[in-house]
Structure 1
Amino acid sequence: MMIPPPRPDDDPRNAPVYLRKTLLAQGLDDRTIRRLVAEGTLIKVRRGAYADRPDHDLLDAAGRHGLRARAVCQQARTSVVLSHVSGLPEYDAPTWGLDLSEIHVTRPDGRAGRREAGVQQHCGTLLEGDVVERHGVLVMTPPRLVLEVTTVATAEAGLVVANHFLHCGMTTKEELLERYALVERWPYSLRTRLVLHRADARIETVGESRTLHLIATAGLPAPECQYPIRAASGRVLYRVDFAWPELGVFLEFDGRVKYEKLLGPGERASDVVLAE
């Protein structure tokens, strides 16, 4: 399993979280804290927790979720591990289609979890190797996260996460299936089985994962992914996202970035399409 290196210390996603009790201990009072928030120096990320506003404003929805998750870890009265959806930002994994309104943590002590104040505590058996430390917080490993996400998300969103970790080399299909065999009695694990059946390490993007899901749910034949188009000499000229060679059909998924943000000088989106 290949784990990516940690983010640089000055990455805004690593921004410090200041608890109210810490600020009070440093000599501030509630009136001063409110003034700092009103001035735009601090921002409240959740009740009793604050962050520097400039760092917070640089973050997307996943980054802000990660910041709230860090606050939850600091405020927890017992040891907790970032899990399910809330573990993904620590690996820069996609959160497409996932509900970011709640923070998910798992208690390693095996005691029953609860849901309150925007936090869902889970309980479950943690195996050796399930937990690592990243960016100063405890978080589940990619194989465990893939399985967990499938229990709280749609099959389509779960497939996006599974394919991302597979393509990046952070887990393998064999590893996921072995880990699944130990947790197949989890709630909603039938959806997990469906995701693992469709998951493919060759899928490179969120859009491709969603396309693969659409193909499968439409009842179409399974395509060849990243299919090479060769010259008569055998040299690979192109590689298409999906292909049905026996039918002479291929399918490409291209997002807005390709046709709008990566245009050359004087080019229009139609120029890129015609070149394709």
Structure 2
Amino acid sequence: MQHIITAYLEGGGRGVITVAEARRLGCGPPVVRAMERSRLILRVARGVYVSAKEFNPPRDHPAAADVYALQRHRHLLRLDALLRSYGDKVAASHQSAVLAWGLPTQHASLERVHLIHVPTGRTARRFDAFTIHTCEVEDVVVTHQGRRVVTAALAVIGQAISVGVMPGVAAVDAALVKKLVTRPELSDMLQRLQRTPRLSLARTAVSLADGLAESPGETRLRLLLMKLGIMFLAQHWVCTDSGNYFRVDFYLPELGVVLEYDGTVKYGDGSSRPAWNTSGPDQDRGRSRAGRSQDAVSAGRQALVAEKAREDELRLTGFGVGRITAADLTGPRVEAVIKNARRQAQPRALRRPAAAPAWAESR
């Protein structure tokens, strides 16, 4: 009988099975308990299980790429199990909804799955590994990629409330870049949630987001520059002496410095991996790891050559250029990179005006 459940998990069950589904397959509770004792399935909550094979993917699986990828994979699997178990009585919220929308969060916040009661007015309940929250507002549940989730606006606001301003800003930036929310929608949601505790964290996160940062790392770097009191222009077009236009991550006009964030993950690439983790998820699962690695090496070399040529041209025009990595995202390190780049800067790079080229404005 166990093979029936295994086939279901690998097929239509998508790694999840409930006791009720097992009964419909002709497998009673003793079969389920035996599989749990054998560690073939893992209990998520009362009456709902996930495949151990899916929960612990092999090393060559994209979800095993790093700690964050594995935590994200497991969180979404547990989320799907709970949504299956509770049906239309709940929807994903907070960090769980942020992940479901493909937005960034902190890996340290992924141990607990978050849901909301549907409809409103129910009492919040906290279990060992998940929480079902109350919800003050109506009409905030939608279906996204087969999951019942709160709207992206409520998800990012919930993230700021529960995790803090920095992750909140990253989530709002990502949602704006990916056009999942608009500023009026965020303002409206904040107004609807005006009696919610800790809402000031979300208001701050929304006010600090600019929708220009292209990655979580750029978001964090922008906030660090603001904290350091350094004037900057984000996603700024500069024109070199050769007549070429480059859009740089940050231009510091009073210093003649260009700062570039050196990260592989962009908000618009479908990845929710934050800047304090490494590369994004593998989108080409059908090919061998060797083939993917060769392509990655080739693409990396081409990108490196292009970046080197771009930096050389910026320096020839008089700009000081500094590169920031995820490891540099601290005040002292950013100040050190800026100080070094400032030594390279020429007076003609100070307060240098530039407008976007016509071909960029027409896009």
Where on the TM-score scale, by shorter chain, does this alignment land: which range?
0.7 to 0.9
Indicate how the Cα distance of structure 1 residues 224 and 18 shifts in structure 2: closer, same or farther if over 3 A, else same: same
Contact preservation (8 Å) 1:110, 1:124 = yes
1:110 and 2:118 matched: no
The equivalent of 1:8 in structure 2 is none
Q: Percent identity?
A: 27
| Counterpart-to-counterpart distance in 2, 1:255 and 1:92 | 18
The equivalent of 1:247 in structure 2 is 255
Superposed CA offset, 1:224-275 (max 9, x none): 1111121358652x22111122331221111367999854389599877744
| Counterpart-to-counterpart distance in 2, 1:134 and 1:66 | 13
The equivalent of 1:231 in structure 2 is 240
Query: Normalised by the size of structure 2, how large is the TM-score?
Result: 0.62
Contact preservation (8 Å) 2:137, 2:193 = no
RMSD: 3.4
The equivalent of 1:7 in structure 2 is none
**Structure 2: which amino acid aligns with 1:113?**
A
1:92 and 2:102 matched: yes
Indicate how the Cα distance of structure 1 residues 26 and 263 shifts in structure 2: closer, same or farther if over 3 A, else same: closer
Superposed CA offset, 1:82-132 (max 9, x none): 11111123222222355111111111231221211212121122233x211
Where do residues 125-164 of structure 1 align in structure 2 (5 Å cutoff)?
125-128=136-139, 130-164=140-174
The equivalent of 2:289 in structure 1 is none
**Structure 2: which amino acid aligns with 1:43?**
I
Query: Normalised by the size of structure 1, how large is the TM-score?
Result: 0.79
Contact preservation (8 Å) 1:17, 1:49 = yes
Secondary structure of the equivalent of 1:264?
helix
The equivalent of 1:214 in structure 2 is 224
The equivalent of 2:133 in structure 1 is 122
Relative to total residues, which structure has the larger helix share, 1 or 2? 2
Unaligned 5+ segments in structure 1 are 1-11
Secondary structure of the equivalent of 1:252?
strand
Indicate how the Cα distance of structure 1 residues 250 and 54 shifts in structure 2: closer, same or farther if over 3 A, else same: same
The equivalent of 1:6 in structure 2 is none
The equivalent of 1:5 in structure 2 is none
Where do residues 1-276 of structure 1 align in structure 2 (5 Å cutoff)?
15-30=14-29, 32-33=31-32, 36=35, 42-44=40-42, 46-47=44-45, 48-56=47-55, 57=57, 58=61, 59=63, 60-76=70-86, 79-97=89-107, 99-107=109-117, 108-128=119-139, 130-216=140-226, 218-231=227-240, 235-236=244-245, 238-255=246-263, 262-264=296-298, 274-275=308-309, 276=311
| Counterpart-to-counterpart distance in 2, 1:274 and 1:253 | 14
Offset at residue 182 of structure 1 (A):
2.3
**Structure 2: which amino acid aligns with 1:90?**
A
Secondary structure of the equivalent of 1:187?
coil
Offset at residue 75 of structure 1 (A):
2.7
Offset at residue 77 of structure 1 (A):
8.1
| Counterpart-to-counterpart distance in 1, 2:103 and 2:265 | 18
| Counterpart-to-counterpart distance in 2, 1:266 and 1:169 | 28
Secondary structure of the equivalent of 2:298?
coil
Secondary structure of the equivalent of 2:195?
coil
Indicate how the Cα distance of structure 1 residues 209 and 98 shifts in structure 2: closer, same or farther if over 3 A, else same: farther
Contact preservation (8 Å) 1:85, 1:98 = no
Unaligned 5+ segments in structure 2 are 1-10, 64-69, 267-277, 280-292, 312-363
| Counterpart-to-counterpart distance in 1, 2:192 and 2:300 | 56
Indicate how the Cα distance of structure 1 residues 264 and 91 shifts in structure 2: closer, same or farther if over 3 A, else same: same
- The aligned length equals 261
Indicate how the Cα distance of structure 1 residues 234 and 38 shifts in structure 2: closer, same or farther if over 3 A, else same: farther
Secondary structure of the equivalent of 1:106?
strand
Contact preservation (8 Å) 2:71, 2:107 = no
| Counterpart-to-counterpart distance in 2, 1:202 and 1:96 | 20
Contact preservation (8 Å) 2:98, 2:159 = no
Offset at residue 139 of structure 1 (A):
0.7
Contact preservation (8 Å) 1:62, 1:95 = no
Superposed CA offset, 1:21-68 (max 9, x none): 42244332455445556777x431514423345544244321221111
Contact preservation (8 Å) 2:15, 2:54 = no
Offset at residue 191 of structure 1 (A):
1.1
